[in-house]
Structure 1
């Protein structure tokens, strides 16, 4: 976009113009290549996205909105950011409700940000400390939810038979007219009290938000259908290990995980090939992957494999202690 063109556009129109190509290419597999594999959005709309993969996508969104809404709470009294804080947009509680429905009461134990999600959240926390950064990330997510997100909600209800919970994230009960609301939001963007360089930074941050969102979708898309265990099962077993067998989890991370100096640990997930843990070593949390002895596909196979890994870890640690 030329400088003359940009200056002729309202600020909200400038943001839309600058981000249009990012918006069009959000689903990483949704390009023009006829040989491509269907992406996450494709599978949602054609009905082939499993409820398990839908749940994993939903779970990653929780971390993003948790970060955005925490930033909004900090900026509630800011004269620039304040006009963009709308209680009716908040999504964190609806995501928690959906995840409780999809994964059970222990949902939080089975939810861990993907590397791409962690990078996205880190970027939100860094940039949304300033009003322009917050507005950029809030605009990108919330106006997207009120636009294309409504089609996602409709597809989820159709595919999985949800009635309320499960897709309540897409319900904006306190916004009777999304179009009128979006018009008001854009009017506030046009009137935002920011100098030119801060507006430039806001536009650049919107583009980064799209890029981070695309990276999360790409990572999710690369793993569609690969985990034979339902998120509800993962959450229940992780909760059991972390609350009832915390000492055993630490032994596994010290032994099989190769972190003998770990002073705390938690199980963060597992799939058919292995289990994931996070160990606290000093002031750092270290991600650990421990492979199963063979591929697993049934819940009943998980416990014996964890017992084996724990036993081998304890024996190895006891042997090292004896040798010392």
Structure 2
């Protein structure tokens, strides 16, 4: 079992999650695929391949979350306004109309398996929920704007980044973090949650690494 250092233990849960996973977060953000995507240099196929992997992840997470709403920690963060699967399917119709939704991706398969296993304890599932959805409401918004500008989409194909029921992300994220901080977790449980946030970022990085293996074929 991992023990957090004192500076992290003394923080509210949401801050411990953020501080404790900084290195993994930065590593995922600086992958070659994400650098190319943020630079507007990934083509339609490359972005569709990313969406197909995200579809595996969100399908698994949203299915597992709905199955564990009896857990107080999961119930505290669950909100259908965050769910992304339908938005991903809508975007895939734009980026890859008629394409098979199945994808050969060891990285996505590993992510799906970890999410299913996280259903064993609500704290683990919350770690993934926090990592994905607060990321979507934060840096994900920049990706949506870059895609819109690069491909002159005028909003088409970017439903994944649109949260019509959450018009103001900042107060929503503040309230989400407050709900996390209100969970009564032991120091040991906080350590488990933070460790799982790190795992979530590593799984996300593995998706980018896998996509990066074909980066030359994805460049615009």
TM-score (norm 1): 0.63
Choose which of 59, 65, 71 in structure 2 pairs with 1:66: 59
Across the two proteins, how many residue pairs are aligned to each other? Answer: 217
Structure whose CA Rg is larger = 1
Give the superposition deviation at 1:189: 1.0
Superposed, 1:149-228 pairs within 5 Å as: 149-226=140-217
Unaligned runs of 5+ in 1: 30-38, 229-324
* 1:120 to 2:118 alignment: no
- 1:8 alignment counterpart: 10
Instruction: From the superposition, tell whether residues 68 and 53 of structure 1 become closer, same or farther in structure 2 (CA, over 3 Å).
Output: same
- 2:90 alignment counterpart: 97
In 2, Cα distance between equivalents of 1:62 and 1:22: 22
- 1:43 alignment counterpart: 36
In 2, Cα distance between equivalents of 1:147 and 1:164: 18
Superposed, 1:277-288 pairs within 5 Å as: none
In 2, Cα distance between equivalents of 1:58 and 1:163: 19
TM-score (norm 2): 0.92
Unaligned runs of 5+ in 2: none
Aligned partners of 1:80 and 1:193 also within 8 Å: no
Give the superposition deviation at 1:179: 0.7
Give the superposition deviation at 1:216: 0.8
Moved more, 171-180 or 195-204: 195-204
Give the superposition deviation at 1:79: 2.2
- 1:300 alignment counterpart: none
Instruction: From the superposition, tell whether residues 6 and 98 of structure 1 become closer, same or farther in structure 2 (CA, over 3 Å).
Output: same
In 1, Cα distance between equivalents of 2:149 and 2:25: 24
* 1:80 to 2:73 alignment: yes
Give the superposition deviation at 1:28: 5.1
In 1, Cα distance between equivalents of 2:134 and 2:72: 21
Q: Which has the larger share of helix?
A: 2
Aligned partners of 1:27 and 1:41 also within 8 Å: yes
Aligned partners of 1:68 and 1:128 also within 8 Å: no
In 1, Cα distance between equivalents of 2:57 and 2:130: 13
Q: Which has the larger share of strand?
A: 1
In 2, Cα distance between equivalents of 1:3 and 1:47: 39
In 2, Cα distance between equivalents of 1:6 and 1:44: 33
